[in-house]
Chains A and B, each alone.
Chain A
């Protein structure tokens, strides 16, 4: 079964993971949460309570755009996709994130 509790997300990484999960094409909100859940080998669960505020903040910033469409089971759902600015943002955040992680790893190994 699903984990009852999920580890705390590193602050600021939710945006990045949403952007990343949309890299290959548009998804609706539930699918985004699923994608992150699966990709983390069930390690992370994004709740609707944090997903939708995040999605809306990113819409305002112009990183995402949203369109209504039909889901796999033929229901009306809102699909999110990356804009050009979103792609740029993903690149920048990924780079920054890798740099930080590498630095943290260095510290954790050597000290």
Chain B
């Protein structure tokens, strides 16, 4: 059917009545003309009428055939089916509502997770033709490949012209000041080649990206704000262009605001502004990030030339790589990189969100299970409904409706249900997706994900809806139309068909019980995992420790000044009332940053150890137990002998049978290699990673090392932190306002953030488990209520013969417990099998404790009892007389 034919038929469908009238008129006209012609050619009037009538004997058929020419058969039938379904749903609103709600929960869960996974991982960047972008993968001689290349190499590739365009991007924290705000703010700034917006094809919201002058090589301090930063910090003021902001005290002019849809090519991060990188060889003393250092590494993105493929571009790139190795002075790159590969670049860089990959995939699987349970539930309800409607179908069949026609009617009903469920699920998804990202840890890097339900989510949701509609509708449609008409017309005496149908429904309910139990157990294990991972080794309540991270930019604060600030700050804050202790650590436990070093006993082999720099009193402030020796003190300062504190793991590894105190330890930091004396030993904790047992760890003295971006830990004497934050910030302001203080939270918050992925999985799978349990309860209730009503006569006879309510109750309960028992056994097996599969992918998952499994089975039994209640009471209240008379 051509497109024109389609639209013609559709138009006809709308104006059908008018068409019939027109055809009628037209044919009458023809008849009359013919009559006149016959009369004119000599027929008598009567003869003419007879002749014309004979010629028009196929009149009705012609009309029917003309109409047929326009018919849109399947669409018309479909609309009729839909109308009929809507009518039948109106008659049984409780059924329709339960089915739609079940599906909405299942589809909503799947859709929520899909939206999240899509936003975090799968959706291409919202730039022009993202499929034409390429990223680079520098294959290392050892270790993971990197997506970064030296600025020098990117410039060479740009000059070589093997791409339609290539641009480089990097990011880092900056101190931002604007207007009268006293304290500098911390922002994440992006540095990019001047052609950044052009190559990516991003249309800025205001302005035009970097100026034309800049793109032609004349560098100027220009800044393009991100849309969300502009909204938040500048109140969406359109007159912002041309104003000056200060980055690390250096003035930049605002030339644009980026498009609302793009947060940057680093997935999941809201880079608050973008500034142009300096030409090679130039630098600004205040901002290291934008210096044109030829060896600075940037993440390059290239746009392929029209018609050229990744493989073709790879050939040209290989030649350029050889050339670069020959000419560069970058010895480090030459030693490290084996080859540079082009990879599809439609998705940007995922460094910040890669950690969410596994949790989201696990959640996707669990959501799929919820959807399956919902499908079982609706299939079950449809089967019951099919049984109840057997008479209706028999009547229609005897009136000539084909089996296919009836099956199609049932399919229309199930698809209608699933679409209604899908629409409601979408509303649900839109609602819950935001809550999902309440779990995102916000620390020194601001994570932001665009969770708008877009056309991709729409397509996904309605495909799932259609698919499930067909899936759960197929079987009831088949069952309802499979028995013979004669059989169905004979009242509703139980026949072999209804018996088969009931058996099938029982299998569905058991499957439902099995899947929801498996989900519950999964939820139990994930909750257990989180509570196992939450570190317990700290001897103080982490909710009473407040954290303030500060960043005196190294470009504008000398090492001397930073030391001075830190000392003064600690002094002032320790003197505040209600402060139990205050200390600084460079990274501190469970933050976003970590450090490590090679260490060795003199003359022995080097090993890797974690490292941090702390001020005196740090271990006591956050409650890490000191085992032996002493803490750092004020004497451990620049020029004094270097001191180190180690943990028990390191002692076990390096000094299994010796006293560690007083020993000499070589520690390599950067290119420096110095000897430290061990002055103390502390207990093992999960300092940097909650997922792994602690390895060897060394702490060095902050006063001997110099702070870079330290965090201040303030332990409150009282239970309430109220007012403490503002009092501490006052002290910061009294000391210096030129650096940002950010990421203000309690140690307890930081611990929760470090478990974000696990908490997300635990909470959501818990929610999924409860949803699945509810669905199973609905399913159980349905089958039990049906069974009681079907056996009403039998129960009535039993009671008339003297059966006690207790034995009737037992009769009903036995059925319920058999269903739950078999279902639970299957569920346990599913849980065990999938547990094996999953534990490969999730590190640090708690083992499947029998306690958890038993608790979940008990929960399932309790749910079954709830579902049993109403049908059981109804069974006991059956009046034998009425039950018998009913027949």
- Say yes or no: is A47 at the interface (Cβ < 8 Å to chain B): yes
Which residues of the partner chain A approach B33 to less than 8 Å between Cβ atoms? Answer: 30
Chain B residues 544 to 582 lying within 8 A of chain A, measured CB to CB, are: none
Q: Which residues in B have their C-beta under 8 angstroms from that of A2?
A: 41
Query: Is A12 located at the chain interface by the 8 A CB criterion?
Result: no
Q: How far is the CB of A32 from chain B (nearest CB, A)?
A: 10
Interface string of B47-61 (1 = CB under 8 A from A): 000000001111101
Proximity string of chain B (339-351) to chain A, C-beta cutoff 8 Å, 1 when within and 0 when not: 0000000000000
Distance (whole angstroms) from the CB of A53 to the closest CB of chain B: 4
Partner of A52, one of B2, B9, B27, B41: B27
Would A53 and B4 count as touching, CB distance under 8 A? no
Q: Mark out the residues of chain B between 6 and 29 whose CB falls within 8 Å of any chain A CB in the assembled complex.
A: 8-9, 12, 22-23, 25-27, 29
**Chain A residues, Cβ within 8 Å of B22:** 78
Smallest beta-carbon distance A24→chain B, Å: 20
CA A24 – CA B693 in complex, angstroms?
Answer: 93
- Given A30-B33, A56-B70, A47 and B58 touching (CB < 8 A)? yes
The answer to whether A76 has its CB under 8 Å from any CB of chain B is: yes
B contacts with A: majority SS: helix
Given A59-B8, A61-B5, A62-B8, the answer on whether A48 and B62 have CB atoms closer than 8 Å is yes
Excluding A62-B8, A75-B29, A85-B4, 6 further A-B contacts by CB distance (< 8 Å) are A29-B29, A30-B29, A48-B27, A52-B30, A59-B70, A61-B4
What CA separation (Å) do A51 and B55 show in the bound complex? 12
Given A50-B62, A52-B27, A78-B22, check contact A62 B56 (CB 8 Å).
no
Q: Does B280 contact A (CB under 8 A)?
A: no
* Residues of chain A at interface, number, CB under 8 A: 26
| Shortest CB distance A94–B (Å) | 21
Q: Is B29's CB under 8 angstroms from A62's CB?
A: no
Check B5–A78 contact: CB distance below 8 A: no
Q: A49-B59, A52-B23, A60-B8 given as contacts; is B30 within 8 A of A1 (CB)?
A: no
Q: Which residues of A are found within 8 Å of B55, using beta-carbon distances? A: 47-48
Interface check B31, CB cutoff 8 A: yes
Closest to B55 in A: A47
Which A residues are in CB contact (< 8 Å) with B31?
48
Over the window 82-100 of chain A, the binary record of Cβ atoms lying under 8 Å from chain B Cβ atoms (1 yes, 0 no) is 0001000000000000000
Q: Evaluate contact between B69 and A56: CB separation under 8 angstroms.
A: yes
Q: Is A77 an interface residue (CB 8 A)?
A: yes
A24-56 vs B, CB cutoff 8 Å, 1 = contact: the mask equals: 000011100100000000000001111111011
B307 in the interface (beta carbon within 8 A): no
B34 in the interface, Cβ–Cβ < 8 Å? Answer: yes
Residues of B within 8 A of A28 (CB): 26, 29
Cβ–Cβ < 8 Å partners of B5 in chain A: 60-62
Does any Cβ of A come within 8 Å of B68's Cβ?
yes
B71 and chain A: residue at smallest CB distance: A60
13 A-B residue pairings within 8 Å (CB atoms): A30-B33, A30-B34, A47-B55, A48-B31, A48-B56, A48-B62, A52-B30, A52-B63, A53-B69, A55-B66, A60-B70, A62-B5, A71-B29
B850 at the interface (CB under 8 A from A): no
Which residue, B55, B56, B66, has most C-beta atoms of chain A within 10 A? B66
Residues 61-83 of chain B, each 1 if its beta carbon lies under 8 Å from chain A, else 0: 11101111110000000000000
CB <8 Å contact, A49 and B41: no
**Contact: B68 with A62, CB < 8 Å?**
no
* In the complex, per-residue mask of A57-80: 1 if CB is within 8 Å of any chain B CB, else 0: 101111000000001000111100
**Do residues A49 and B66 form an inter-chain contact, with CB atoms below 8 A?**
no
Q: Which residue of B lies closest to A77 (CB)?
A: B29
Q: Is the CB of A49 within 8 A of B61?
A: yes
Q: Is B723 an interface residue (CB 8 A)?
A: no
What distance in Å separates the Cβ of B32 from its nearest Cβ neighbour in chain A?
Answer: 8
Contact check, A56 vs B66: say whether CB atoms are below 8 A apart.
yes
Assembled-state Cα–Cα distance A60/B31 (Å): 24
Residues of A within 8 A of B42 (CB): 1
Expressed in whole angstroms, the minimum distance between the Cβ of A62 and any Cβ of chain B is 4
CA distance A78 to B22 in the complex (A): 9
Give, as a whole number of angstroms, the nearest-CB distance from A28 to chain B: 7
Residue on B nearest A49 in the bound complex, by CB? B58
A29/B26 in contact, CB under 8 A: yes
Hey, which chain A residues are within 8 Å of B34, CB to CB? 30, 48
- CB-defined contacts of B63 to chain A, threshold 8 Å: 52
Q: Write the nearest CB–CB distance from B59 to chain A, whole angstroms.
A: 7
Contacts of B2 in A (CB 8 A): 61-62
Docked pose: A71 CA to B33 CA in angstroms: 11
In the complex, chain B residues whose CB is within 8 Å of the CB of A51: 30, 62
Q: Which 10 A-B pairs have the closest CB atoms?
A: A49-B58, A53-B65, A56-B69, A56-B66, A49-B62, A57-B69, A30-B33, A62-B4, A30-B30, A52-B66
Chain A residues with CB below 8 A from B66, complex form: 52-53, 55-56
The residue on B at minimum CB distance from A72 is B33
Separation in Å of the A73 CB from the closest CB of chain B? 9
| Residues of chain A lying within 8 A (CB to CB) of residue B69 | 53, 56-57, 59-60
Q: Is the CB of A76 within 8 A of B25?
A: yes
A51 to B66, CA, bound (A): 9
Chain A positions within 8 Å of B62 at CB level: 48-53
A57 to B14, CA, bound (A): 18
Bound form: Cα–Cα A71–B26 in Å? 12
How many angstroms from the CA of A19 to the CA of B696 in the assembled complex?
A: 93
Residue among B8, B12, B27, B62 with max Cβ neighbours from chain A (10 Å): B62
Residues of A within 8 A of B57 (CB): 49
Cα-based distance from A110 to B63 in the complex (angstroms): 45
- Return the CB mask of B631-652 against A: 1 if under 8 Å, else 0: 0000000000000000000000
